[in-house]
């Protein structure tokens, strides 16, 4: 009787030890990051008239350099945290014919740092939503349209609906001693 009791106790403890290695239903999913990480501080460093090399030094290599839009660089970043909803941020930089930065469009606006958003202070930068968009260079060869509903079609719709915003220029430094 005592031997049976010890055997049952031993089997119970071994079974509990084996169950400790099991987890509840559900698979661990990792965070999936894709694209270029773009921060508001990087956008704030951009100035009109910067060359492509200067912009590449600040922002890194663009994710998309479209052959049909050579004066536009696109930076995309997406994060899907542990199987949750995918969050996507994008920025399009527009260059003029002299290869100098002339505008930007996307989820970031120049002159609005995260600290200013949190503290509620005004940066002095205003954006006129009714201002006409700057035209981009015309495409030399017409593109074949993307399949409706495809990821490429959705990204192209987002990019085409974006309007460039002028990059603010800093105020001149006062040297009159005040």
Q: Is the pTM of this model over 0.75?
A: no
d(CA 68, CA 48): 23
d(CA 78, CA 89): 6
Q: What is the pLDDT of residue 178?
A: 56
Per residue of the chain (178 residues), give pLDDT as tens.
778 888 889 888 888 877 776 766 667 778 888 888 888 888 888 888 999 999 999 999 998 888 888 899 999 888 888 778 888 888 999 999 888 999 888 887 766 565 665 566 555 555 555 555 555 555 455 566 677 777 877 778 887 887 777 777 777 766 776 5
Which residue do the tokens 């004066």 mark?
A: 71
Alpha-carbon 154 to chain mean position: 16
The CATH number of domain 30-120 is 2.60.40: no
So where are the chain's domains? 30-120
Where in the chain does DSSP place strands (E)? 32-35, 64-65, 72-80, 86-95, 101-106
Supply 128's token pair. 């006129």
Other C-beta atoms closer than 10 Å to the C-beta of 91 total 24
């Amino acid at each position: 009787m005592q031997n049976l009791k010890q055997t049952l106790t031993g089997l119970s403890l071994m079974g509990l030890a084996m169950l400790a290695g099991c987890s509840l239903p559900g698979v661990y999913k990792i965070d999936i990051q894709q694209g270029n990480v773009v921060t508001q501080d990087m956008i704030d460093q951009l100035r009109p008239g910067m060359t492509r090399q200067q912009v590449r030094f600040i922002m890194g290599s663009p994710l998309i350099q479209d052959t049909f839009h050579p004066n536009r660089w696109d930076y995309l970043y997406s994060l899907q945290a542990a199987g949750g909803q995918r969050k996507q941020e994008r920025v399009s930089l527009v260059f003029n014919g002299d290869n100098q930065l002339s505008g930007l469009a996307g989820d970031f606006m120049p002159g609005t740092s995260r600290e200013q958003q949190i503290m509620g202070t005004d940066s002095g930068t205003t954006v006129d939503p009714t201002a006409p968009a700057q035209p981009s260079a015309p495409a030399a060869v017409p593109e074949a349209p993307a399949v409706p509903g495809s990821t490429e079609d959705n990204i192209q719709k987002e990019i085409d609906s974006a309007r460039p915003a002028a990059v603010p220029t800093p105020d001149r430094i006062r040297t009159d001693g005040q």
